[in-house]
Structure 1
């Protein structure tokens, strides 16, 4: 069970069927299945009335602490730490399967798809081990097709759907034919998007992140993006996640997915109607997000500003314009480029007085002048020059608002 005193195998009994992590507070439902308390509570709070492992309808949503299992997990954990000779040593897993064992499990899933939870859990652990493991799984003949068939069947139990999405997320980048994979997942006679949407709505944090990544991976061309955008409820769920979640990885994966799917211009009015400008404003107004999240939020807002509906929403939202101005020169050159492009769209192209006024009130002219004199790209400098012309900045007004030691450098 132990190798080199540092690497251990986690008994499957100790893993939560939902999160697949070692349970911290195991509790049992009336069906007899044990879950980690936080995972099953989230499942029930989402309005579900079934046991996620068996899909039996629950006659009671009460659960009972499994003290016996908790003691066993504690004893096992103490034993692992004792053998590592350091209470603070991280627990690392040995490869859960050999390649031959992984092949055998896949054959078992093929023969008994309705009873695949344990097999799929072991496959997930194997895929997590290394890039070599993920490449191996992606290249097993028929395995990716098996996963797609499972997603598209429409009658798999929810926990199995979560596991399939996680496996797909880990191996999809290693698949040799992305176009063929995307086409197979988006076929009209399959219900893959409905399964992914269900996981987005009710899954664990890890599963929802995986779902967004899978969607991004199959949005490979205009046709696939349009098919994804046409799925009822999918965009609204992604935007809802932006408004309710605080996990940076989840927010970033959601933004990346929306950016990928919204590349065709005809899709952009839809995300605007669903409230993306309001949610992006909230993200940009929070100074605690990472550079990457901020860049992606501005990129998506720039895409929204390219349609008349998006321009109108931004112009009507002074908080949005203020947040854009605040991010200029403060985050990264990429963020600044997105911000300038948005302001150019609403102030120069739309000639909107409200947006122009908000830019002025938030010291935007000074920032534009600084940008003009920085080492920005020619395209950004041109946009900034257009903005200054719109604001009719004279040399005198430039000097009055530009309090630095380089006031001798003028934009005209």
Structure 2
């Protein structure tokens, strides 16, 4: 590795998990996860009592400065600054707001070339520097329109036929500022209801782009899918759902999987979209994540995987495929009490759907063999939500009727059951 390569990529553990910016004042929660002070403080001030990365309930909201990491970031930052002076190929310094305005003005009149690619790179650098910078970009007249038109023109295959490196930059800049755009409905209409095919460019980035660009593409789709019509337009775009399903392969990085799952959850709300996903093999893809024994799989990935599976279980075809996958049902049973309250609710809803609502005998047998009855009884004694307790009671009725064991003597109306 040559010396300059050391300064091209920001080490992932230097970035705040919330803002994705390099941390200026790293602090750690009781869970051991480190965040930038301003980001985590805002999260806690909004009334949250969980760790954003792990979703674990916090025993304490105390934040402790991570001095070691702060020193490492400072050493790295100093090295980067020195590298920029020593090497003309090192990344440029963050431009000022005035410089960015000039770049955007020039960008709107440029075709795809080296100059426009450099302009986008500088704008992206500016956006990633701070949340305030992203807000400024989101408020700039005509900036978002220019970005979407770049995607639309490329999708139409007009004379402005941009290569995928240029499109990657456009998508990453767009993703960085989308949440700061006040008129989300206008953004959706601009993206989906014009004569330009912006989705074709997103598809191209998903197919050919870097890992970072693929994550940005999934987040852009998630943001603009804010009503039933937009969700269906995205779902019915040829090959788009197939590419999103590729993101959730267990072999991918956790950040890629999470972005793909979040996007699929948003898009699959309409029944027609869920049906198409089932036909494309979404059940098998998500089942691999739920059954994955890899301990590095995050709580968030498990929760989102179960959420997608829950949505698929709401239709007959989806429930049927779930019931045919014995290993998947057994894995869902194992997630009932081991992950989080959110995961518990999704897992119980799936089991309730296939065992109680769909009355699938094969699924009931798998749940029984996987020690599901004990988990249901323990769940009813726990501090779970009323809806989860009711679903557990419904399932217990099914197993009480079918079981020849002592379970048949228990009254399922009892709220505290001691079977042993």
Normalization by structure 1: what TM-score? 0.75
> 1: CA distance between counterparts of 2:219 and 2:117?
22
> 1: CA distance between counterparts of 2:405 and 2:227?
50
> 2: CA distance between counterparts of 1:233 and 1:15?
35
* 8 Å CA contact 2:381, 2:415 repeated in 1: no
Corresponding residue for 2:321? Answer: 313
Gaps in structure 1 of 5+ consecutive residues: 1-13, 23-84
* 8 Å CA contact 2:400, 2:408 repeated in 1: no
* 8 Å CA contact 2:283, 2:321 repeated in 1: yes
Check if 1:142 corresponds to 2:142: yes
- Cα-to-partner distance string for 1:325-378 (whole Å, 9 max, x where unaligned): 010100001101101100111011111111000000100000000001111111
- Cα-to-partner distance string for 1:60-116 (whole Å, 9 max, x where unaligned): xxxxxxxxxxxxxxxxxxxxxxxxx98982226786111110001111111213221
Check if 1:359 corresponds to 2:367: yes
Deviation at residue 21 of structure 1 after TM alignment:
3.8
Question: For residues 87 and 192 of structure 1, do their structure 2 counterparts lie closer, same or farther at Cα, with a shift above 3 Å needed?
Answer: closer
* 8 Å CA contact 2:188, 2:224 repeated in 1: yes
Corresponding residue for 1:194? Answer: 200
Check if 1:380 corresponds to 2:411: no
> 1: CA distance between counterparts of 2:218 and 2:170?
14
Check if 1:397 corresponds to 2:406: yes
Q: 1:239 aligns with which of 235, 245, 249?
A: 245
**Aligned residues between the structures:** 333
Corresponding residue for 1:271? Answer: 277
SS of match in other structure, 2:400:
coil
Corresponding residue for 1:99? Answer: 97
* 8 Å CA contact 2:380, 2:415 repeated in 1: no
> 2: CA distance between counterparts of 1:407 and 1:180?
50
Deviation at residue 410 of structure 1 after TM alignment:
5.5
* 8 Å CA contact 2:261, 2:308 repeated in 1: yes
Rg larger for: 1
Corresponding residue for 2:332? Answer: 324
SS of match in other structure, 1:174:
coil
> 2: CA distance between counterparts of 1:203 and 1:331?
33
Check if 1:90 corresponds to 2:76: yes
Corresponding residue for 1:77? Answer: none
* 8 Å CA contact 1:399, 1:407 repeated in 2: no
Corresponding residue for 2:40? Answer: none
Alignment of 1:4-43 (within 5 A): 21=9
Corresponding residue for 1:177? Answer: 183
Normalization by structure 2: what TM-score? 0.74
Deviation at residue 409 of structure 1 after TM alignment:
2.6
Gaps in structure 2 of 5+ consecutive residues: 11-70, 82-92, 155-160
> 1: CA distance between counterparts of 2:341 and 2:208?
37
> 2: CA distance between counterparts of 1:295 and 1:407?
26
* 8 Å CA contact 2:138, 2:144 repeated in 1: yes
> 2: CA distance between counterparts of 1:362 and 1:244?
24
> 2: CA distance between counterparts of 1:106 and 1:329?
52
- Cα-to-partner distance string for 1:97-140 (whole Å, 9 max, x where unaligned): 11110001111111213221011111111111000111111111
Check if 1:164 corresponds to 2:170: yes
* 8 Å CA contact 2:268, 2:274 repeated in 1: yes
Corresponding residue for 2:128? Answer: 128
Corresponding residue for 2:341? Answer: 333
